[in-house]
Amino acid sequence: MNKVVKNANEAIKGMQDGQTFMLGGFGLSGIPENTIKALVESGLNDLTCISNNAGVDDFGLGLLLKKHQIKKMISSYVGENKEFERQLLSGELEVDLIPQGTLAERLRAGGAGIPAFYVPAGYGTEVGEGKESREFNGKMHLLEFALTADFAVVKAWKGDTMGNLIYRETANNFNQAMATAGKITIAEVEILVPAGELNPNEIHTPGIYVQRIFQGVNYEKRIEFETVTE
């Protein structure tokens, strides 16, 4: 079973205007750089994007925002992205901000066939407005629903031709849950090897979740805040 495609352009084939896609990464760590570039070049529009952050102004998802290709963002943190904050405050961009753990669990549930679940995060805040709530063990919880997408785009460290993936350090973050929640999951990897070369004990994402895989090129792996000790 060979899932290898040539490059990012081939990987996003079939993606259409108005579709929903999810994108792995935390800040700029573990983002699928090659596929983002291909999406910017594709000129696809009216996209709904599920991603914890939105990159920075001139890198990562920020590039798609700048070109107004995204209609709606589902995220947990705007942080330091000025363009994201500007589009949000001006109303140009529809933004659904949700607690980070709820986001992660909604993705996990989406891939695991669990339509909804209760969590305490956000109860009593504007996140809970209009949501069904229920008490368990003396504590209030909100009903949250699973998230899936037409495409999930993830970045892994190593992958094989069958789509098995291994992430590296904290570059795993949202990638692992998202890989399970796409109708079509695209994985870009730094190192692509033939099936059989990865140690099955070390695989984070089994190949069943991945439909297309390719080895990325020219990773910049930009650091957002380089902090060092002297």
| Residues at the site binding another protein, with contacts judged by CB under 8 A | 26-30, 52, 75-79, 85, 88-89, 97-105, 107-108, 119-127, 157, 167-177, 204, 221-230
Is 44 or 209 the residue whose CB approaches another protein more closely? 209
Contact between 107 and 22 (Cβ < 8 Å): yes
CA 154 centroid distance within chain: 6
Integer Cα distance of 29 and 221 in angstroms: 7
Q: How far is the CB of 38 from another protein (least distance, A)?
A: 21
DSSP-derived 3-state class of residue 208: helix
Tokens of 16: 């259409």
- Specify which residues 212 forms β-bridges with: 186
Is 120 or 206 the residue whose CB approaches another protein more closely? 120
Return all residues near 148 (Cβ < 8 A) that are at least 6 apart. Answer: 110, 111, 181, 182, 183
Q: What does each C-alpha distance from 71 to 74, 96, 175 come to in angstroms?
A: 10, 11, 22
- Specify which residues 118 forms β-bridges with: 143
Integer Cα distance of 206 and 222 in angstroms: 28
Q: How far is the CB of 94 from another protein (least distance, A)?
A: 13
Q: How far is the CB of 80 from another protein (least distance, A)?
A: 8
Q: How far is the CB of 45 from another protein (least distance, A)?
A: 24
Is 19 or 77 the residue whose CB approaches another protein more closely? 77
Q: How far is the CB of 125 from another protein (least distance, A)?
A: 4
Is 37 or 168 the residue whose CB approaches another protein more closely? 168
Q: Which residue type, as a one-letter code, is found at position 198?
A: L
Is 108 or 212 the residue whose CB approaches another protein more closely? 108
Q: How far is the CB of 169 from another protein (least distance, A)?
A: 4
Is 120 or 150 the residue whose CB approaches another protein more closely? 120
